Structure 1
Amino acid sequence: MSGAFKRIRRKIWFILNVGVVLWLLVGVYCLQVPPYEYWEAGFISFSLPGALVLNFVFFIYWLLRRSWLILLPLSVMVLGWQYHSRFLALNFRKEEPLEAKELEVLSFNVHVFNAYDDRDGSELEASAEMIEWVATHPADVYCLQEFYNNNTKGSTVYNTVSRIGQRYDKFRHFSVAHKDWNKGEIGIAIFSKYPIFNKGVIEFGETKHNRAIFADLNIQGDTVRVYSAHLQSMNIKAQDIENTYSSIGNQDKMKQEGRNLARRLRRGFIARGHQVELLLDHISQSPYPVIVCGDFNDIPFSYTYQVLSKELSNAFEEAGVGVGATYNGPIPFLRIDNQFYSNGLRAYDFRTYPEMGLSDHLPISAKYVLEKRD
């Protein structure tokens, strides 16, 4: 009887393992599908991290059982390592460049420096701390999303163009998406210690909040084009997550909250699908090596990430360590801020900054080597 039970159990585990492999194959295929053509593909690819984790569980199970069936999850891990490395980077060895031009780039969604949380003055000290942290960071270039500047009389903290750019003698490109009720300017900014000799804005259709900007930098005789992008938000707030958790046990409320989340995710998938293609079309026309920074509001298992990674390398994958989560909110392990780069550059160091937890995003920085051209 025990022998028959073991055979049945083994068969069940094998069938489940095959199911996970099929899930992974379908998910990888869905990464290639534009969400505006088939939005369901966005949800399937969004679930890929779960399939990767389950495949690893099966690997451990067959390993402990000393079964030849370990070849099934192992082959998936080997053949699909590029997708595992999107989730977990293992670049422990740093190759310091010798006698080469280097460029360090900081990317940070600064969440309007918490200015909207400071109407009663309670966040003023935290805002000043965040602005000073950015202004004194040793990076050569800052790419800042949800940037906020207010030059009205009496604004001694939020006059950020002056506090970050003019005070530290940096060249700057600030694209204002809109102005608020208090004449504050909100948009995307690039600050650079190297001269900016050309710059521009990439509009994403009707949306005014999301856009990308670029700046061509003269780096001791070489040129690098740097992009700072902010793609369509997921529009999921911490309160939405809490409402979903609190609705567990209430079937009607849970269905309603689930539909609301799914609707917002679907709108985001579709919008970012269009936006990333506009961005990539502009990148493809660059005559210079490029670095593309930003808040992409999409995980590494998405059409957005897939489209960019086909043409560009990712600094976290090439030079990072660990999970590299950048979302500073109630959903753990989300990496939605990235730096991509083209040929002509090589990333050799990548960092996230969990100590700067004043925004809903964590800052990231990468160091690059400008490779010599023939």
Structure 2
Amino acid sequence: MAGTFKKIRRRLWLLLNIVVVLWLLAGVLCLQVPPDEFWPAAFVAFSLPGALVLNFLFLLYWAMRRSWLVVLPLATFLLGWSYYSRLVAVNLVREVPQGAKTLQVLSFNTHVFNAYDKRVKGVPQISDEMVDWVATHPADVFCLQEFYSYVNSNEFNNLNRIGTRYDKYKFTSTYETGRVKAEYGIAIFSKYPIIRGSTIYFPNTQKYTTNRVAWADIDVQGDTVRVYGVHLQSMSIRSEDIENTYTAIGDEESFKKEGLNLARRLKRGFIARTLQVQLLLEHIRESPYPVIVCGDFNDIPFSYTYDQLARELENAFVEAGSGVGATYNGPIPFLRIDNQFYSEGLEAIDYETHYEMGLSDHFPVSATYVLEPKVAADR
């Protein structure tokens, strides 16, 4: 009897393992489907981390039981390693080659430096701390999304506080709004000269939005690097929406309502970013220089947006980071929606998520790149 039960249990676990492998394969295939053509594929791809984790647990389970069935999750693990590396990065510390030319880039969604929270007691000091943290960071280039600057205010004239005060070159792609005529958008600051810069506007977004791409050609001691500051379509999901969904668990009607609300917003974001990432890639392909593409992509590494970029560019977190690298500072843990990608002619040797700066709804990320010699880059 005990032997029969053991066989049934073994077959059940094997069946579940096969289901997980099929789930994983479906998720990988769905990564390649444009959400504007078939949006349900985006939700399947979004669930891929669950399949990756469960497959790894099956690997441990069969290994501890010393079963030959470990071959199934092990083969899946090895063949799918590139997707596991998107989830968790494992890299050794690398030293800067002697005499190498380097460029450190900081990317940060500043949440308008909490400017609109001034009404809350104590927040002006928080905003000051955020601005000063950015302004004094040792990075060579800053790409700031949801940048805010109010020229007629000493406290929030951030073009001056970050750029002019520290003798940095700057390029901004902003729009002016509100009674105070403040500027919102994307700002690129650099200690090296900015040769030129421009903006990629998205036709499927409103005029007054920070969702856009700013780019700047930067002269790094005789070599030119094009840096893109990216802010793709937001989900428009507030922390309260997620918390309401959590609290609705147990109330079927309320949970269904909140869940459908989140699903609709996710769907709109998936579809909008499909066109946006294609426009971005078309521009990148025309660049005569090595590129660094950084910012708030509002999508996880298991999305059509990320996958399209990863097909043509390297990801700094994957190549030089460690751990999970979560960048969303909100109620959903482990989300990495801020990234830095780079092209040939560059090599990422260091990557860091700055958890010490937790005053925005995003954590800043920085990466250090080695500029490869021109001769080597042309091969």
User: Structure 1 stretch 242-251 or stretch 112-121: which is displaced more?
Assistant: 112-121
Task: Name the counterpart of 1:205.
Answer: 203
Q: Which amino acid letter does the alignment assign opposite residue 223 of structure 2?
A: D
| TM alignment of 1:114-193, pairs within 5 A | 114-120=114-120, 122-152=122-152, 155-193=153-191
Does the alignment pair 1:75 with 2:75?
yes
Q: Provide the alpha-carbon RMSD of the alignment.
A: 0.9
Alpha-carbon distance in structure 1 between the residues aligned to 2:201 and 2:181: 22
Task: Name the counterpart of 1:88.
Answer: 88
* Cα contact 1:228–1:294 (8 A) shared by 2: yes
Alpha-carbon distance in structure 1 between the residues aligned to 2:113 and 2:178: 14
* Cα contact 2:219–2:225 (8 A) shared by 1: yes
Change (3 A) 1:44 1:178: farther
What per-residue deviation string (whole Å, max 9, x for no partner) do you get for residues 9-33 of structure 1? Answer: 0000001000000000010000001
What per-residue deviation string (whole Å, max 9, x for no partner) do you get for residues 245-287 of structure 1? Answer: 1111111111110110000000000001110111011001000
What per-residue deviation string (whole Å, max 9, x for no partner) do you get for residues 45-65 of structure 1? Answer: 000000001001101110111
Change (3 A) 1:121 1:5: closer
| TM alignment of 1:339-358, pairs within 5 A | 339-358=340-359
Change (3 A) 1:246 1:288: same
Alpha-carbon distance in structure 2 between the residues aligned to 1:121 and 1:335: 31
* Cα contact 2:204–2:272 (8 A) shared by 1: no
Task: Name the counterpart of 2:45.
Answer: 45
Task: Name the counterpart of 1:103.
Answer: 103
Per-residue deviation at 1:235? 1.4
Percent identity of equivalent pairs:
64
Count of residues in correspondence between the two structures: 372
What per-residue deviation string (whole Å, max 9, x for no partner) do you get for residues 135-172 of structure 1? Answer: 000000000000000012xx221100000000000000
What per-residue deviation string (whole Å, max 9, x for no partner) do you get for residues 98-149 of structure 1? Answer: 1111000000000000001113563100000100000000000000000000
Q: Which amino acid letter does the alignment assign opposite residue 216 of structure 1?
A: D
- Secondary structure of the residue aligned to 1:29 is helix
* Cα contact 1:171–1:191 (8 A) shared by 2: yes
Structure 1 stretches (4+) deviating beyond 4 angstroms? none
What per-residue deviation string (whole Å, max 9, x for no partner) do you get for residues 274-314 of structure 1? Answer: 10111011001000000001100000000000000000000
Does the alignment pair 1:289 with 2:287?
no
What per-residue deviation string (whole Å, max 9, x for no partner) do you get for residues 47-105 of structure 1? Answer: 00000010011011101111000010000110110000001000023132211110000
- Secondary structure of the residue aligned to 2:154 is coil
- Secondary structure of the residue aligned to 1:249 is coil
User: Structure 1 stretch 196-205 or stretch 89-98: which is displaced more?
Assistant: 89-98
* Cα contact 2:163–2:169 (8 A) shared by 1: yes
Task: Name the counterpart of 2:364.
Answer: 363
Per-residue deviation at 1:188? 0.3
- Secondary structure of the residue aligned to 1:24 is helix
Q: Which amino acid letter does the alignment assign opposite residue 178 of structure 2?
A: D
Task: Name the counterpart of 1:242.
Answer: 243
Alpha-carbon distance in structure 2 between the residues aligned to 1:235 and 1:92: 37
Alpha-carbon distance in structure 1 between the residues aligned to 2:83 and 2:122: 43
Q: Which amino acid letter does the alignment assign opposite residue 60 of structure 1?
A: L
* Cα contact 1:112–1:148 (8 A) shared by 2: yes
Gaps in structure 1 of 5+ consecutive residues: none
Gaps in structure 2 of 5+ consecutive residues: none
Per-residue deviation at 1:182? 2.4
Alpha-carbon distance in structure 1 between the residues aligned to 2:81 and 2:344: 22
Task: Name the counterpart of 2:264.
Answer: 263
Task: Name the counterpart of 1:308.
Answer: 309
Alpha-carbon distance in structure 2 between the residues aligned to 1:95 and 1:125: 37
Alpha-carbon distance in structure 1 between the residues aligned to 2:331 and 2:29: 29
TM, length-normalised to structure 2: 0.97
Q: Which amino acid letter does the alignment assign opposite residue 97 of structure 2?
A: P
TM, length-normalised to structure 1: 0.98
Q: Which amino acid letter does the alignment assign opposite residue 21 of structure 1?
A: V
* Cα contact 1:178–1:187 (8 A) shared by 2: no
Alpha-carbon distance in structure 1 between the residues aligned to 2:258 and 2:96: 49
Q: Which amino acid letter does the alignment assign opposite residue 282 of structure 2?
A: D
